[in-house]
Structure 1
Amino acid sequence: MTAHADVIDLARRLVRCPSRAGIDDYGPVLDVLEDWLAGRELPFRRLHDGEGCAVGLLIEVAGARSGPWWALDACVDTAPYGDEDAWSFAPDSGEVVDGWLHGRGAADSKLAAAMFCGIAAELHGRADALHGGLAVLLDADEHTGGFGGARAYLADPEAVRPAGVMIGYPGLDEVVVGGRGLWRAVIAVHAASGHSGSRRTAPGAVSRAAHLVRLLEEAELPGAEGEFPLPPKLTVTSCHGGQGFSVVPDRCELGVDIRTTPSFDADAAERLVRTAVGELDLRVPAPRPTTITPVAAWPPYRLVKDQQPAAALLEAAAREGLVVRPKTAGPSNIGNLLAGEGIPATAGFGVRYEGLHGVDERACLEDLPAVHAVYRRAVLSLLGSP
């Protein structure tokens, strides 16, 4: 079996093993990977979270010569299927049709996981020529947003901390070298309760929350500045309050998501929200002050020109004849977690795809040889091997 055929066979087996985040047991998909790795005598071990649950698999290929370690990362958990009746093929199909691998996780990111296993197997056979080492992280807790596999890897005292990470999200035209950060909070707006038919005229919590939404959405945000090409963005993502029709609601909760940039960071985002809340409580008083509960924060990041591992990946793509541009992403990604740890990361170079997180997810296998060659070339250059 050729190397590419071996990778495709493994990817098909992975797609046929459901691993939906928060729904399926991750043990079976990790078993598939472990069987493949054991058959090639690759060193690997499971990673666990603080409660002892398996959240990933770590492969380590140590070079015989001194040097930094680098990591490849792909997730093996997936988004849910959604409306299965809307799919034109089974979500766990794993079939190859007209050069496309079908099924949930084909694009994000089981094909990349299989490809990275293939690269690790090749490098394991030539470890004597490598400087430093290669880790392959197969994260089984990525789509939850918890990034449990990455967190367990970074916290593992036996693992060598990587000098940089390349994350195998799909997409053939771009290498993601940065992303906006985020600051998220739940805001509880209060009011005095009562009967909706009474003579009382004080606004309820839902009305006060609507006023706060206007204040937030009218707040002035800076534009894009300097080397970071995207501006910050504020979105009110949820609103929950009230019940029925006869009661004036005394509590309404808003969810607020602010995408941050180097010039408008998490502290600036929180100050903006606190200013709006202070104005609400002053203009439209209530028996209890509005409360803000921050729930998540990720720093923005952007690799500078010629910074590794982006430079190696972009150069490898050019040598393979691909036109690939660096990109700063609007959404956050696991690169933000790594940036917070001081680890540079790329995210988002892989095969073409369709239906990512939607119906009829599929990945283009025609692109696999070139993408495989790019990652192989990049890794070998980072490990100082011709």
Structure 2
Amino acid sequence: MTEEIVELAQELIRRPSRAGIDDYGPVLTALEDWLAARDLPYRRLYDDGGRPVALLVEVACGRPGPWWALDACVDTAPYGDEGAWSFPPDCGDVVDSWLRGRGAADSKLAAAMFCRIASEVQAQAAELRGGLAVLLDADEHTGGFGGARAYLADTAAVRPAGVMIGYPGRDEVVVGGRGLWRATIAVHAASGHSGSSRKSVGAVSRAARLVQLLDEAELPGAVGEFPLPPKLTVTSCHGGEGFSVVPDLCELGIDIRTTPTFDATAAEALVRGATAELDQLLPGPSPTDITPVASWPPYRLAENQQPAAALLDAATREGLTVRAKTAGPSNIGNLLAAKGIPATAGFGVRYEGLHGTDERAYLADLPAVHAVYRQTVLRLLTNGSAPP
């Protein structure tokens, strides 16, 4: 059973699908060939530009009930410095129980496992309730979440009662995540010659003062049941050219991780307050501009809320010690939460090198992880909402 999963995962790793670099056609075709050979219904999903961004597998059951979804990405991070790898990034081989190659951990092994579970559900679909969707997302690592967006926008797809995302990590079921608010800030100044006798404060210097104000801003701590505090990071700074010109523009990138008690509105208010203070302390020729770029809400499922409850219970029944976790980074679960769809965003095999050098996934964990997801899905499709 797990041999079939590993063989498909190997085939996927050997078809590079780096976000924004590789053509996704080969990896999607490998999945389509596997699904077609097992008579599983699938179709491609496309973005507004007609580009394929996902495969959607849909297994309808014989009795009425809610649909549930499994989600795994089949695009990957780039390789980085290939010379630093101790094996080819697209080798897809198995050494000492480790599946090696980019995407082994995030998340081609999970995609292969979810395809297998779809096949298992189809074999007994007549006796089950509702249906199972498997979303194989080819636009996750871009940050655009194109596959998930296409799924949610597809009027032919049944809206799921909950989603389980197959990110790796055996000790935790991720049941929530901080949100985010991101913006670019344009800081202005009067241009001139750097050797001029006229005193001037360039845009880079003004931006540096703004960075200081942002770094000194007080953020609240963790409040209530949400276990993480908000966090502000200045992620980029671009301005000036050469040495003889006082720069008239410097752009900053700002990333704020939000919480239920410090949301996107509070994040934007903090940044606008800092820019207003800058413009008062060091006036420029025009006000500092803020351009919001992205915003996701934070979310956290209760441990007795589905599908978290069923997944945690199945892990316990399998003899695993697993805790519920709220993640610092955002993920597709935040997008789903904004649409009112509860999601878990991580439980899988142990791993190394995710997004880094020598990525690999520990196959000795696969039988138990597969059993947990299979048991979870079958209980949800049997009971409609499995008890905790």
TM-score, normalised to structure 2, is 0.98
Q: 1:64 aligns with which of 54, 62, 65?
A: 62
Amino acid corresponding to residue 21 of structure 2 in structure 1: I
For 1:225, the equivalent position in structure 2 comes to: 223
Query: Which residues in structure 2 correspond to 1:17-28 (within 5 Å)?
Result: 17-28=15-26
Cα offset, 1:305, TM superposition: 2.8
Matched, 1:53 2:51: yes
Query: Which residues in structure 2 correspond to 1:157-172 (within 5 Å)?
Result: 157-172=155-170
Query: Which residues in structure 2 correspond to 1:215-364 (within 5 Å)?
Result: 215-364=213-362
Q: 2:189 aligns with which of 175, 188, 191?
A: 191
C-alpha deviations, 1:19-56, integer Å up to 9, x for none?
00000000100000000000000000000000000000
C-alpha deviations, 1:138-182, integer Å up to 9, x for none?
000000000100000000000000000000000000000000000
Cα offset, 1:202, TM superposition: 2.2
C-alpha distance in 2, partners of 1:30/1:233?
37
SS at match of 1:383: helix
C-alpha distance in 2, partners of 1:268/1:188?
20
Contact 2:140 2:146 in 1 (8 A): yes
Percent identical: 77
Gaps of 5+ in 2: none
Amino acid corresponding to residue 350 of structure 2 in structure 1: R
Amino acid corresponding to residue 228 of structure 1 in structure 2: F
Cα offset, 1:201, TM superposition: 1.2
For 1:207, the equivalent position in structure 2 comes to: 205
C-alpha distance in 1, partners of 2:20/2:338?
25
C-alpha deviations, 1:58-109, integer Å up to 9, x for none?
0000011111000000000000000000000000011011111000000000
Cα offset, 1:117, TM superposition: 0.2
Query: Which residues in structure 2 correspond to 1:167-178 (within 5 Å)?
Result: 167-178=165-176
C-alpha distance in 2, partners of 1:107/1:285?
50
Cα offset, 1:220, TM superposition: 0.7
Amino acid corresponding to residue 248 of structure 1 in structure 2: V
Cα offset, 1:304, TM superposition: 1.5
Matched, 1:7 2:26: no
C-alpha distance in 2, partners of 1:80/1:257?
22
For 2:129, the equivalent position in structure 1 comes to: 131
For 2:82, the equivalent position in structure 1 comes to: 84
Matched, 1:38 2:36: yes
Gaps of 5+ in 1: none
Higher mean alpha-carbon deviation, 376-385 vs 234-243, is at: 376-385
Contact 2:195 2:244 in 1 (8 A): yes
C-alpha distance in 2, partners of 1:286/1:96?
60
For 2:141, the equivalent position in structure 1 comes to: 143
Cα offset, 1:348, TM superposition: 1.0
Cα offset, 1:199, TM superposition: 1.3
Contact 2:90 2:101 in 1 (8 A): yes
Amino acid corresponding to residue 256 of structure 2 in structure 1: I
C-alpha distance in 2, partners of 1:305/1:44?
32
Q: 2:92 aligns with which of 79, 91, 94?
A: 94
C-alpha distance in 2, partners of 1:350/1:133?
22
SS at match of 2:9: helix
Q: CA RMSD in A?
A: 0.8
Amino acid corresponding to residue 78 of structure 2 in structure 1: P
Amino acid corresponding to residue 94 of structure 2 in structure 1: V
C-alpha distance in 1, partners of 2:102/2:344?
23
Amino acid corresponding to residue 312 of structure 1 in structure 2: A
For 2:375, the equivalent position in structure 1 comes to: 377
Contact 2:303 2:324 in 1 (8 A): no
Contact 2:307 2:342 in 1 (8 A): yes
How many residues of Structure 1 are paired with residues of Structure 2 in the alignment? 384
TM-score, normalised to structure 1, is 0.99
C-alpha distance in 2, partners of 1:206/1:8?
52
